[in-house]
Amino acid sequence: AQSVAQPEDQVNVAEGNPLTVKCTYSVSGNPYLFWYVQYPNRGLQFLLKYITGDNLVKGSYGFEAEFNKSQTSFHLKKPSALVSDSALYFCACALDSNYQLIWGAGTKLIIKP
Amino acid sequence: DVKVTQSSRYLVKRTGEKVFLECVQDMDHENMFWYRQDPGLGLRLIYFSYDVKMKEKGDIPEGYSVSREKKERFSLILESASTNQTSMYLCASSFHGTVRSYTFGSGTRLTVV
């Protein structure tokens, strides 16, 4: 079965430290990978996506993600965390033949001052 | 500013009631989706539509139906609300034919009592 895994339910980071939110995928075919963020009581907002090309993708709010085909991973990163980055983060994958997204369960990111 | 608008942020309904959740987008998107979001389960696809009067079942269609009479509007219907349908409901839309990011509404938190 095709799936997206976010192995951590919650990630705690001190403000100013680098952060990583992990995502791995298991799909057949060429994956298109996405990160979305959800602030409390809001819908999801698009952060970044990988379609093809450079494995390092830059997105909104200073976030970036690295596509690693051999490890089937697409981890979200930021060099210096802000308290305002605290939110729920979702990784998602689409297949090259299908525009539907397969979603991870989400990771709650908490940035402590 | 492009938008997906969900008609209600919060709803409280009684068991057995027929419930309508409305979603309108102003981006001329072909695809529209209804998800429910529950803690620890991520986003689960209820129904989607890629054209007017077209609908496809997602992963958890039981107890739900949808209507898409106009391109910009996608309605989710709970035929007879039950307490296990208490959840956050998210509407999303996207262009068809390419892997584009989704635009989400702010969500409707439905409580069935």
Domain locations in chain B as residue ranges: 4-112
Per-residue pLDDT, B20: 97
On whether the CB atoms of residues A33 and A65 are closer than 8 A, the answer is yes
What DSSP string runs through B42-98? EEEEEEEESSTT--EE-S--TTEEEEEEETTEEEEEESS--GGG-EEEEEEEE-SSS
- Identify the contact set of chain A against chain B, taking CB-CB distances under 8 A: 9, 32, 34, 36, 41-46, 49, 51, 90, 94, 96, 99-101, 103-106
- Could you tell me which residues are beta bridge partners of residue B45? B35
For B109, the token pair is 């938190």
Q: Which of A27, A32, A101 to mutate to test the interface with B (most CBs of B within 10 A)?
A: A101
Residue in A closest to B102 by C-alpha: A46
Per-residue pLDDT, B98: 63
Which CATH architecture fits B4-112?
A: Sandwich (2.60)
Residue A71 pLDDT exceeds 60: yes
Interface touch A90/B101, C-beta < 8 Å: no
B50 min Cα distance to partner chain A (Å): 10
Q: Tell me which of A9-23, A34-48, B97-111 is least confident.
A: B97-111
**DSSP helix/strand/coil, A113:** coil
Amino acid, single-letter form, for residue A70: S
- Is the CA virtual torsion B84, B88, B94, B100 positive or negative? negative
Residue in B closest to A38 by C-alpha: B106
What DSSP string runs through A10-74? EEEEETTS-EEE--EEE-SS-EEEEEEEE-TTS-EEEEEEE-SS-SEEE-GGG-EEEEETTTTEE
Per-residue pLDDT, A40: 85
Per-residue pLDDT, A42: 81
Express each pLDDT in B15-60 by its tens digit.
Answer: 999 999 999 999 999 999 999 999 888 899 999 998 998 999 999 9
Per-residue pLDDT, B2: 64
Interface touch B101/A34, C-beta < 8 Å: yes
Interface touch B107/A41, C-beta < 8 Å: yes
Q: Which of A99, A100, A103, A107 to mutate to test the interface with B (most CBs of B within 10 A)?
A: A99
Residue A97 pLDDT exceeds 60: no
Contacts with A103 from chain B: Cβ below 8 Å: 42-43
Decide if domain A3-112 falls under CATH 3.40.50.720.
no
What value does the mean pLDDT of chain B take? 93
B92 min Cα distance to partner chain A (Å): 9
Q: Kindly list the distances between the CA atom of residue A65 and the CA atoms of A1, A48, B26, B43, B108, in Å, as whole numbers in the listed order.
A: 24, 8, 30, 21, 30
Q: In this complex, which of B48, B97, B106 lies closest to A43 when CB atoms are compared?
A: B106
Per-residue pLDDT, B83: 97
On whether the CB atoms of residues A90 and A42 are closer than 8 A, the answer is no
Residue A45 pLDDT exceeds 90: yes
